[in-house]
Amino acid sequence: MPMAHPHSKYQDFESLREQAVALRRTGLSRRQIRDRLHVHNNDILNRLLEGEPPPEWTKRPNAKDDLRERARELRLQGWTYDQIQVELGCSKSSISLWVRDLPTPERKRSREEAAAIARRGWDETLRIRDEERQQTKAEAKQSIGTLSARELFLVGVGLYWAEGSKDKSYDRRENVIFVNSDPGMIKVYLAWLDLLKVERKRLRFSVMIHESGDVLGAEQYWAELVGADASAFNKTTLKKHNPKTVRKNVGDGYRGCLVIKVLQGADLYRRIEGWWCGIVGGATATE
């Protein structure tokens, strides 16, 4: 059985096309022609009206026509996509389609000027970040308040066990020696020793610093920080410079490290180690 022609339900396609064209030329819309001829297939209706322009009254104005023309005007004036978007409130994808046939505006700023503007923007970003950083630190500092004696005691034990010298089974040295470059750590450590009734006359200090640093300045700085005279300081230890390495601990803020030793400290060391073991046990105990 031969296959039916896809337009077999319209007995005379050319005749139907003549009717559609005639109706179109009288000013009917596609919908009106569709209803008159009972053609509800858009593909067939397109073929029937092929080449026939729609009547003027059916041409609805495009709401974006004015925006498109304005966008093109601004582009010809040298505006960027971002500037046009802000001005017209439309998407950059639409702007790109509307003006893609127009020449790209010449760069109004030199690369150096653009780089300077970018740097200013980045500097402002860094400034804001630093303000946020300092605000966070200030709020955290405020939340601590004054430490109780027990709080200072526990902080000091942990501080020493993290930064102080320790006895080893293979190297029996029960000495209380604390080394650090952070002035804040030194202050807390000394406050802790005061809490433990360790007399200042039992303390000996010494500075450890790179030989290329400000040795005299560092010695004076640490002496003023701990409130001790020269008699409480041992000879400064100088670290030799390795020409193959590039030092980063340079500048006015570099003062080396301060070493604090407690004389006759064996008993104190044993108690410190015991206190630390107690903290570990208390922190890991199960209920």
Q: Both 70 and 43 in a single domain?
A: no
Model confidence pLDDT, tens digit, residues 20-35: 889 888 888 888 888 8
In a domain, 115, yes or no: no
- For residue 112, pLDDT over 60 is answered with yes
Name the token pair of 262.
């407690």
Laid out side by side, the sheet with 257-262 consists of: 176-180, 257-262, 203-210, 237-239
> The tokens 């639409």 sit on which residue?
94
pLDDT at 263: 95
Give the three-class secondary structure for 173. coil
Look at residue 213 in the predicted model and tell me its pLDDT.
86
Q: Is residue 123 part of a domain?
A: no
Domain assignment of residue 35, yes or no: yes
User: Do 156 and 76 share a domain, yes or no?
Assistant: no
d(CA 203, CA 194): 11
Q: Is 106 inside any structural domain?
A: no
Q: How far apart are CA 107 and CA 102, in angstroms?
A: 15
Residue 122 in domain: no
pLDDT digits (tens, 9 = 90+) for 171-212: 788 999 999 999 999 999 999 999 999 999 999 999 999 988
> Within this chain, do residues 19 and 82 fall inside the same structural domain, yes or no?
no
Range of the domain at 155: 149-243+253-284
Phi, psi of 47 (to 5 degrees): -70, -35
CA–CA dist 69, 259 (Å, integer): 77
- Give 55-82 as a DSSP string: PGGG-PPPTTHHHHHHHHHHHHTT--HH
What is the number of domains present in the chain?
A: 3
